[in-house]
């Protein structure tokens, strides 16, 4: 369980500062067409709590710890610009998505989508190669393959920077890594694991994909990244503009590869204007949501109540864990 750098605020202290929003998406991503989030207008800045709706309180508590860190404790100091990758969902027509990422030279392409085949993946990757021939490509299977399927895919997909989370378990990642020359990146095996260090112990990956919210905040991400002693890609968990602040800070402080932090471009609307992409880079800034956008994107009363209950459940989980300084 992530520890908090200050005493844990009460649920009421969090909720009196909370805004629940529903952001429409330009493309379906992880089966989602509307991204909901609870934003916290805290004394140290804005924070975000947006675990995916299927996550229970135990897993979601880390996301709340991250939001509390940003809103009540404050993010570490970091300045400058961050190189980012573009994210290509499992769609048939990639050209409109590519157009959302001017100047970007690295793309992460979703593969192993339920209901699709390796042939679909091959066509999607080939289309990105054709349209952006000089780009660096990585693919993300989100645990969707068996070991044999992952090895076959690696043979057919051609040169890649890495394959992200091809299989479900750390042991399977290690076997794929032994059987292919394509580098392997671990995501869920770090952010959803009870022991994120097992990836390093089993030599199961070449790259650690680290996401601030699921790991419990920037401070904990930095410690895990340091202890894993792997190359790092900091990525978004489909964060709003608010949540992206912490990702950019973490990317700078870890020396991230091209970071997966341009996902704001997958939204039709967000609580703040998208950061400008300049030569494939985003500037580190702190976001203050636009009041009109906050109002226009507010979730229904029923969804607001659901998220408020979720905060209460997660505060209870965090309250059972250590709250001392780390």
Catalytic site positions: 110, 211
Dist. CA 220–CA 234, nearest whole Å: 13
CA angle 317, 65, 230 (to 5 degrees): 115
Q: CB of 209 within 8 A of CB of 233?
A: yes
Phi/psi at 176 (5° precision) = -60, -45
Dist. CA 30–CA 32, nearest whole Å: 5
Q: How many CB atoms lie under 10 A from the CB of residue 9?
A: 20
Provide the 3-class DSSP secondary structure of residue 19: strand
The helix or strand, by DSSP H or E, that contains position 311, with its residue range, turns out to be: helix 301-320
Q: Are strands 281-283 and 81-83 parallel, antiparallel or unpaired?
A: antiparallel
């Amino acid at each position: 369980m992530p520890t908090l750098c200050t005493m844990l605020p009460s649920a009421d202290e969090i909720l009196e500062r909370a805004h629940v929003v529903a952001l429409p998406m330009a493309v379906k991503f992880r089966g989602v067409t509307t991204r909901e989030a609870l934003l916290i207008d805290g004394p140290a800045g804005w924070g975000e709590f947006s675990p995916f709706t299927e996550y229970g309180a135990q897993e979601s508590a880390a996301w709340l710890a991250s939001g509390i860190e940003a809103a009540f404790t404050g993010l570490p100091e970091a300045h400058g610009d961050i190189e980012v990758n573009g994210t290509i969902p499992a769609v048939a027509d990639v050209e409109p998505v590519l157009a959302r990422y001017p100047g970007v030279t690295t793309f992460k392409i979703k593969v192993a989508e339920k209901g699709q085949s390796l042939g679909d993946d091959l066509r999607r990757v080939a289309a990105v190669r054709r349209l952006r021939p000089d780009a660096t490509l990585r693919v993300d299977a989100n645990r969707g393959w068996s070991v044999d399927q992952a090895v076959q895919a690696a043979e057919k997909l051609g040169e890649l920077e890495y394959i992200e989370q091809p299989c479900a378990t750390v042991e399977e990642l290690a076997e794929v890594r032994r059987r292919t020359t394509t580098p392997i990146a671990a995501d869920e095996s770090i952010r959803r694991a009870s022991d994120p260090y097992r990836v390093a112990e089993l030599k199961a990956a070449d790259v650690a994909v680290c996401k601030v919210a699921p790991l419990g905040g920037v401070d904990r991400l930095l410690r895990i990244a340091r202890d894993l002693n792997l190359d790092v890609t900091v990525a978004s968990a489909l964060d709003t503009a608010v949540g992206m602040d912490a990702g950019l800070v973490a990317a700078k402080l870890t020396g991230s590869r091209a970071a997966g932090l341009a996902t704001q471009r997958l939204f039709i609307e967000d609580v703040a204007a998208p950061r400008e992409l300049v030569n494939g880079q985003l500037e580190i800034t702190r976001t203050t949501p636009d009041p009109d956008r906050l109002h226009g994107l507010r979730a229904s009363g029923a969804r607001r109540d659901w998220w408020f209950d979720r905060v209460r459940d997660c505060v209870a989980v965090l309250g059972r864990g250590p709250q001392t300084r780390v």
